């Protein structure tokens, strides 16, 4: 698969839209670590490794898939060598803690590299993503001895990480976990149980796999309040830091999946395996969700990456494939490239307008993660509030739009889009999982509406609307009407939230409305991103064609995409009884 990282777009977002240099200089932990020249160099190197090393593995990896032979999980040909090069170049530890061997780069830069890797290969990206997430959790909640032992190896890519939550009877409802942990006299624990759907749970890319496992102590309280988090390596670690004997962690099977076939999705068994507490007893979900917030943004970016890769394939095909005569845009030959046809242009504009807005939101969310982690005072507090609200939105809306974008790109190809050799059907299959794992999109919607918007009676959303209002002052005259339209949408979101919060059937109303509310909010936030981009483009030093193209895409979004929010708000207004009335056994 051919892939070209959109470096100009990425640098525009950092430099012009979000003023990254000013943000980094305002944070002491980043002021000496990163500047725009360094960021540009990192992105350029990231483009090289994703375009030249990772993307060429994508299709063959999908065809071959992972194999489970005699208890061993084997990745496709070329994966081990590519991962070693990837790790040795420092990419796994890009945003890791410098004290333990990470590069310490800000997340608002890291999200752009994440997008490149997902665009190049979803399956390959997941190995590094889970490792970075595990390291993040250990850095935030682990004892110093755990940090010293595991973080350098994870950041270097010598070892990898996995997140072990799901069990056959316990998916979204973690209160039903059965994996047990028993305390030992030396302060360690012994874990017994089985986990399923464990991404990167076992493979041949690294010498050790470090599992972060949710389990319950024998005397733990019932429900989710009794869950603790443990670090359980596949192999024990010797006092000198080398890999030791087996630790009672084994792979029972690998799943045969619709997509991401080169990613090892495993059944992992723990048989009296030695583990170490991460965080506090019975507070495992608090620790795990440190990792989950970053992972949910990462999986959202999987949707963005697939949308970008699909767009590139579809545009190239539309420029070359000749069928029919265009109306008013024909080129004079026997047949015109299909890019001249209105419906094809519509599909390409659909993909581009949501992908570029999503990329902007990913950088903004990454910036808020940086400020929530490294900022101080009111800046840190406000950033943490925005992270809490934007994370479920980004995960769900990015991936919903990612699937829509890959399907639209497949449609551009016509019959060829259904054939494996063209590559776009793999993107449809690969991105589908992103709406499901790391918390289904329906659960993200419930989190956004029920906890993040109604949980504080709309204060966070009101503050966001005030910020949008302020930031969009001084827009050029052609954009004032769109600004008015956008602010009216934010007001409507606040009104609907109040209406739902005061409903006599509050729980049913929230459950019935949550997905539509998330989509309406997604369109509003994307509109904000588009007006930020056109404002920055017109005030900056970008090439005239770049500025003009941004304006055209923004117009398309406001005239053909944003009105869909009105539909979602209208649906929310309907009585939830139409959903809840049917008896269960009539389904």
Q: What is the pLDDT of residues 331-368, one digit of tens each?
A: 566 889 999 999 999 999 999 999 999 999 999 999 99
User: Which pair of tokens denotes residue 365?
Assistant: 């969310």
Specify the DSSP element, H or E, that contains 236.
strand 235-237
At 173 the pLDDT is 80
Q: What is the mean pLDDT of the chain?
A: 96
Mean pLDDT on 537-542: 94
| Angstrom distance (rounded) from CA 439 to CA 121 | 22
At 325 the pLDDT is 84
Q: What is the pLDDT of residues 31-54, one digit of tens each?
A: 999 999 999 999 999 999 999 999
Closest alpha carbon to 275 in 195, 156, 173, 175: 195
Please identify which of the residues 295, 350, 425, 438 carries the catalytic annotation. 438
Residue with the larger pLDDT of the pair 576 and 173 = 576
| Angstrom distance (rounded) from CA 132 to CA 138 | 10
Mean pLDDT on 42-68: 98
At 175 the pLDDT is 79
Name the β-bridge partners of 337.
Answer: 322
SS (H, E, C) 388-412: HHHHHHHHHHHHHHHHHHHHHHHHH
The number of C-alpha atoms within 13 Å of 368 and in the hemisphere containing its C-beta is: 21
Q: How confident is the model at residue 288 (pLDDT cuts 50, 70, 90)?
A: confident
Specify the DSSP element, H or E, that contains 331.
none
Q: 438 catalytic, yes or no?
A: yes
Which residue matches tokens 């409802």?
Answer: 173
Q: Above 90 in pLDDT, residue 171? A: no
Q: Above 90 in pLDDT, residue 289? A: no
For residue 184, count other CB atoms closer than 10 A to its CB. Answer: 11
Contact present, 494 and 458 (Cβ < 8 Å): yes
pTM, full prediction? 0.96
For residue 64, count other CB atoms closer than 10 A to its CB. Answer: 17
Contact present, 304 and 355 (Cβ < 8 Å): yes
Q: What is the pLDDT of residues 107-162, one digit of tens each?
A: 999 999 999 999 999 999 999 999 999 999 999 999 999 999 999 999 999 999 99
User: Which pair of tokens denotes residue 49?
Assistant: 């490794």
| Angstrom distance (rounded) from CA 275 to CA 266 | 19
User: Which pair of tokens denotes residue 145?
Assistant: 């001895």
Of 183-187, 491-495, 504-508, least confident by mean pLDDT is 504-508
Query: What is the CA 357 to chain-centroid distance, rounded?
Result: 15
| Angstrom distance (rounded) from CA 41 to CA 46 | 8
| CA–CA–CA angle 315, 316, 318 (5° rounding) | 60
User: Which pair of tokens denotes residue 397?
Assistant: 């809306």
Residue with the larger pLDDT of the pair 153 and 327 = 153
| Angstrom distance (rounded) from CA 147 to CA 40 | 30
Using left for φ > 0, alpha for ψ between -120 and 50, and beta otherwise, residue 101 falls in left
Q: What is the pLDDT of residues 380-419, one digit of tens each?
A: 999 999 999 999 999 999 999 999 999 999 999 999 999 9
Q: How confident is the model at residue 292 (pLDDT cuts 50, 70, 90)?
A: confident
Q: How confident is the model at residue 328 (pLDDT cuts 50, 70, 90)?
A: low
Q: How confident is the model at residue 170 (pLDDT cuts 50, 70, 90)?
A: confident
| Angstrom distance (rounded) from CA 95 to CA 97 | 7
Q: Above 60 in pLDDT, residue 293? A: yes
| CA–CA–CA angle 149, 151, 156 (5° rounding) | 115
Q: Above 60 in pLDDT, residue 330? A: no
Residue 512: C-alpha distances to residues 47, 82, 395, 414, 574 (Å): 42, 46, 20, 36, 10
Start-to-end CA distance of the chain, whole Å, equals: 43
DSSP assignment of 131-191:
HHHHHHHHHHHS-HHHHHHHHHHHHHTSEEEEEE--BTTBSS-GGG---EEEE-TTS-EEE
At 333 the pLDDT is 66
Domains assigned to the chain? 440-578 (1.20.120)
Which residue matches tokens 């792979």?
Answer: 251
């Amino acid at each position: 698969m051919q892939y070209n990282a959109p470096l100009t777009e990425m640098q525009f977002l950092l430099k012009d839209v979000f003023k990254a240099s000013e943000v980094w200089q305002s944070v002491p932990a980043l002021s000496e670590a990163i500047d725009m020249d360094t960021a540009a160099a990192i992105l350029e190197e990231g483009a090289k490794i994703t375009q030249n090393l990772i993307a060429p593995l994508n299709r063959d990896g999908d065809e071959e898939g992972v194999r489970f032979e005699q208890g061993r999980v084997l990745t496709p040909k070329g994966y081990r060598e590519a991962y070693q090069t990837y790790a040795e170049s420092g990419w796994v530890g890009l945003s890791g803690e410098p004290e333990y061997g990470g590069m310490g780069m800000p997340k608002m830069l890291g999200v752009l590299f994440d997008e490149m890797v997902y665009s190049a290969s979803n399956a390959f990206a997941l190995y590094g993503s889970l490792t970075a997430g595990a390291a993040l959790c250990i850095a935030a909640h682990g004892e110093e001895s755990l940090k010293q032992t595991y973080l350098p190896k994870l950041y270097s890519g010598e070892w990898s990480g996995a997140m072990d939550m799901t069990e056959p009877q316990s998916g979204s409802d973690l209160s039903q976990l059965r994996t047990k942990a028993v305390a030992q006299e030396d302060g360690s624990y012994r874990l017994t149980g089985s986990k399923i759907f464990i991404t990167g749970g076992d493979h041949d890319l690294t010498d050790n796999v470090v599992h972060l496992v949710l389990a319950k102590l024998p005397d733990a309280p019932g429900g989710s309040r009794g869950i603790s988090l443990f670090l359980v390596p596949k192999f024990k670690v010797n006092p000198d830091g080398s890999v030791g004997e087996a630790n009672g962690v084994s792979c029972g099977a690998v799943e045969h999946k619709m997509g991401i076939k080169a990613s090892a999705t495993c059944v992992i068994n723990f048989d009296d395996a030695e583990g170490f507490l991460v965080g506090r007893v019975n507070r495992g979900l608090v620790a795990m969700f440190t990792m989950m917030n970053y992972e949910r943004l990462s999986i959202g970016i999987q949707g963005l990456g697939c949308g970008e890769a699909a767009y590139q394939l579809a545009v190239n095909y539309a420029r070359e494939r000749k069928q029919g005569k265009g109306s008013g845009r024909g080129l004079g030959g026997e047949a015109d490239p299909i890019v001249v046809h209105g419906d094809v242009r519509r599909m390409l504009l659909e993909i581009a307008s949501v992908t570029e807005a999503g990329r902007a939101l990913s950088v903004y969310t990454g910036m808020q993660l940086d400020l929530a982690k490294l900022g101080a005072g009111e800046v840190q507090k406000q950033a943490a509030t925005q992270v809490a609200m934007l994370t479920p939105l980004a995960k769900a809306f990015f991936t919903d739009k990612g699937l829509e974008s890959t399907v639209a790109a497949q449609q551009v190809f016509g019959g060829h889009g259904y054939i494996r050799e063209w590559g776009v059907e793999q993107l449809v299959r690969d991105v589908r999982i992103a709406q499901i794992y790391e918390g289904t999109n329906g659960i993200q919607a419930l989190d956004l509406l029920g906890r993040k918007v109604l949980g504080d009676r709309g204060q966070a959303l009101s503050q966001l609307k005030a910020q949008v209002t302020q930031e969009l002052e001084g827009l050029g005259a052609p954009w004032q009407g769109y600004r008015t339209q956008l602010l009216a949408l934010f007001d409507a979101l606040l009104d609907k939230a109040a209406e739902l919060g005061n409903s006599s059937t509050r729980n049913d109303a929230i459950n019935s409305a949550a997905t539509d509310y998330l989509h309406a909010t997604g369109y509003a936030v994307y509109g904000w991103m588009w007006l930020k981009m056109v404002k920055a483009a017109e005030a900056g030093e970008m090439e005239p064609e770049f500025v003009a193209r941004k304006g055209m895409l923004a117009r398309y979004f406001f005239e053909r995409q944003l009105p869909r929010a009105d539909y979602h708000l209208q649906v929310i207004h309907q009585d939830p009884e139409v959903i809840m009335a049917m008896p269960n056994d009539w389904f």
